[in-house]
Amino acid sequence: MSRLIIVSNRVQPPTGEGGGNQGGLAVALSAALRESSGIWFGWSGEVAEQFTGHINLRRAFGVTTATVDLEEQDVDEYYNGYANRTLWPLFHYRVDLAEFESGFAEGYERVNRRFAETLQPLVEEDDLIWVHDYHMFPLGRFLRDRGVRNRMGFFLHIPWPPYRLLMSLPDHRELVETLFAYDVVGFQTQDSLEAFHDYVVHEMGGTVEEDGRVVVGDRSVLARACPIGIDTDNFLEAARSPAAKDAYDRMRESANGRDMIVGVDRLDYSKGLQERFLGYERLLQQEEGLHGRLFLLQIAPPSRGDVQSYQEIRAGLDSLSGRINGAYADAEWVPIRYVNRGYPRDRLAGIYRAARIGLVTPLRDGMNLVAKEYIAAQDPEDPGVLILSRFAGAAEQLSDALLINPHSPEDIADAIQKALAMPLAERKARWRACMDSVEQQDVMWWRRCFLSALAGEEECSQADAA
């Protein structure tokens, strides 16, 4: 196969820990890099006094990484600014939180130019280049400007917004035009793909061909929905580990006969955590008989603490969880266990398995792999029930979960009641249907499907088995 160059904002080199504590995306991409003797290029996460373009090359566990340090201004404008205070909220339908500052956009373009200038000398004639996520929209265009003619693909891990919402972004057309520098563009869901089609047709006068190519004037790109999965085999192995069994045993003992509802989310306004707490509170208001019989474990590691909107959501959740516990707790029972720390994937697997209900309620999410991990962790003979937001990308595949409107406290409360009362036969049937998708369309399937399209080979369909 051709050598593969992967480009992402941050590089996740393999740790050699057997994968139990390594993200599924990193596992899949690392495997592809080993197979092709490829390179993983991106920001080191370190800040330098001045950008020099110096590449830190490292090889570990068969994977070569190439990273660069950024200036503090680069991080403020490109990463904290345009990527996370402009694009992230806008693409998650929160235009009310988006900040449109010219300095952010200038920093975003500057850093992408610097990435292109630094990466270009590493590119060999037959390399395939695979660029990831919203931090890097214009990178392909800047590489083309520098004479790179290799096949290049781009995959967006977050949702693509409706075209009228996207039009609130200054220079929105210029951003979309940068995608036509790539040969293949991938989205998580059919919904995002259709939103991209709508923008191109209505705003750019383009057309969508039967083979999936999107054409504007003399330029075209193959655009497709290609949902990412988890590394199912690796996760199942982690779920059978001693660490997972220990976590399961500890949670069962701690539950003391009560039913556990679990939520695991990065602390972010897109995850619907406040709405989740309010839906759970509605259940406690309506069903006094459930008091003392169940609890919600919410694991929410902090993120982007230097962005004001993230500070506000953390303060709001602290207040809301305290109010609910203050109103309903007694000396022997606390209705919400709210934890601001992360756990390794093997221990999470044990926690998922111990939970009667997995509560996944994002207001908008590109995919949401927690939903798939919860399914994979279950006991096939006595599985828990997944309650899933209709606005998570995973809902397109996991349609046998209990799908809910996360904005509705009544919907959340009703779904919890239904899950608690669900007969074993129905729980097993719903779980089996979801697990089929998790097994067949895993992260390796996703990788093969995208790279086969990038290489110009026969494409996978979503119905293909892994």
pLDDT, tens digit (0-9, with 9 covering 90-100), for 336-385? 999 999 999 999 999 999 999 999 999 999 999 999 999 999 999 999 99
Has residue 40 got a pLDDT over 90? Answer: yes
Q: Please indicate, yes or no, whether residues 218 and 103 belong to a single structural domain of this protein.
A: yes
Q: Please indicate, yes or no, whether residues 213 and 266 belong to a single structural domain of this protein.
A: no
Q: Does residue 462 belong to any structural domain of this protein?
A: no
Q: Does residue 216 belong to any structural domain of this protein?
A: yes
Q: Please indicate, yes or no, whether residues 166 and 20 belong to a single structural domain of this protein.
A: yes
Q: Please indicate, yes or no, whether residues 265 and 347 belong to a single structural domain of this protein.
A: yes
Has residue 466 got a pLDDT over 60? Answer: no
Residue 394 confidence class, pLDDT cut points 50, 70, 90:
very high
Q: Please indicate, yes or no, whether residues 449 and 413 belong to a single structural domain of this protein.
A: no
Extract long-range pairs of 86-91: CB within 8 Å, 24+ residues apart. 86/169, 87/134, 87/169, 88/134, 88/158, 88/270, 89/269, 89/309, 90/161, 90/165, 90/166, 90/168, 90/169, 91/134, 91/158, 91/159, 91/160, 91/161
Q: Please indicate, yes or no, whether residues 447 and 436 belong to a single structural domain of this protein.
A: no
For residue 54, indicate whether it is catalytic: no
Q: Please indicate, yes or no, whether residues 197 and 252 belong to a single structural domain of this protein.
A: no
Q: How many domains does the chain have?
A: 2
Average the pLDDT over each of 18-27, 179-188, 450-459 and give the range with the smallest value.
18-27
Give residue 462's pLDDT: 45
Has residue 306 got a pLDDT over 90? Answer: no
Comparison of pLDDT for 26 and 325, the residue scoring more:
325
- In tens, the pLDDT along 206-235 reads 999 999 999 999 999 999 999 999 999 999
Give residue 17's pLDDT: 52
Residue 20 confidence class, pLDDT cut points 50, 70, 90:
very low
Q: Which of 74, 231, 365, 442 is catalytic?
A: 365
Q: What is the DSSP letter of 392?
A: B
Residue 21 confidence class, pLDDT cut points 50, 70, 90:
very low
Domain carrying residue 358:
233-440
Q: Please indicate, yes or no, whether residues 239 and 155 belong to a single structural domain of this protein.
A: no
Has residue 464 got a pLDDT over 80? Answer: no
Task: Give the separation between CA 268 and CA 265, rounded to whole angstroms.
Answer: 8
Q: Please indicate, yes or no, whether residues 242 and 224 belong to a single structural domain of this protein.
A: no
Number of Cβ atoms within 10 Å of the Cβ of 259? 16
Q: Which region holds residue 322: left if phi is over 0, alpha if psi is between -120 and 50, else beta? A: alpha
Q: Are 402 and 374 in contact (CB under 8 A)?
A: no
Q: Does residue 449 belong to any structural domain of this protein?
A: yes
For residue 132, indicate whether it is catalytic: no
Give residue 31's pLDDT: 84
Average the pLDDT over each of 187-191, 407-411, 454-458 and give the range with the smallest value.
454-458
Average pLDDT of the residues in 241-246:
98
Q: Which region holds residue 171: left if phi is over 0, alpha if psi is between -120 and 50, else beta? A: left
Residue 12 confidence class, pLDDT cut points 50, 70, 90:
confident
Has residue 18 got a pLDDT over 50? Answer: no
Q: Does residue 460 belong to any structural domain of this protein?
A: no
Q: Please indicate, yes or no, whether residues 135 and 260 belong to a single structural domain of this protein.
A: no
Pick the closest to residue 4 from 181, 89, 183, 128 (CA basis): 128
- CA 319 to chain CA centroid, nearest Å: 27
SS3 145: helix
Q: Does residue 464 belong to any structural domain of this protein?
A: no
Has residue 36 got a pLDDT over 60? Answer: yes
Give residue 14's pLDDT: 73
> Which pTM value belongs to this model?
0.94
Comparison of pLDDT for 29 and 138, the residue scoring more:
138
Task: Give the separation between CA 403 and CA 409, rounded to whole angstroms.
Answer: 14
Q: Please indicate, yes or no, whether residues 216 and 271 belong to a single structural domain of this protein.
A: no
Task: Give the separation between CA 382 and CA 187, rounded to whole angstroms.
Answer: 34
Has residue 465 got a pLDDT over 80? Answer: no
Q: Does residue 461 belong to any structural domain of this protein?
A: no
Q: Does residue 465 belong to any structural domain of this protein?
A: no
Residue 30 confidence class, pLDDT cut points 50, 70, 90:
confident
Q: Please indicate, yes or no, whether residues 321 and 210 belong to a single structural domain of this protein.
A: no
Residue 23 confidence class, pLDDT cut points 50, 70, 90:
low
Has residue 403 got a pLDDT over 80? Answer: yes
**Domain CATH number, residue 11:** 3.40.50.2000
Q: Does residue 144 belong to any structural domain of this protein?
A: yes
Give residue 310's pLDDT: 79
